[in-house]
Amino acid sequence: MIPELVIGSGRVIALRGRRVRLSIIGFELFTYLLSRRNRICTAKSMFDWIYQLRDLPKSETFPVHLFNLRRRIAPLGLTIQYLRGEDSYRLYGPGEKVKPLASGYSSLSHLEGMAA
């Protein structure tokens, strides 16, 4: 877990006096990544878990949900690193050193041009 992180009702998360409210899918992605925080999560595993849980038709909006989640949690000092070569993601807490990005890795810069 991330020290001082509070998960409240209404999909609100708070850390060090800052609060953000997440969308339904954003909240589910966040809790999925948080529960697997010391592991790398593949995009396929997250996609399958979210859409099985929500019983929604599979869609092309999954990368946009990840992009929006990244933007929402950034003010809390949380980072989602994208490992392009593996099509995987990892959540880092504030003050944690994000592992250096090797060739083919990014911090979700591949999603920067997507509509919010």
Note the CATH number of domain 6-111. 1.10.10.10
CB 70 within 8 A of CB 78: no
- 3-class SS letters over the chain: CCCCCEECHHHEEEECCEEEECCHHHHHHHHHHHHCCCCCEEHHHHHHHHHHHHCCCCCCCHHHHHHHHHHHHHHHCCEEEEEHHHCEEEEECCCCCCCCCCCCCECCHHHCCCCC
Q: What is the pLDDT of residue 82?
A: 86
Residue 84 pLDDT exceeds 70? yes
Q: What is the pLDDT of residue 98?
A: 72
Question: If you average pLDDT over every residue of the chain, what do you get?
Answer: 80
Residue 28 pLDDT exceeds 80? yes
Sorted by where each begins, the domain ranges of the chain are 6-111
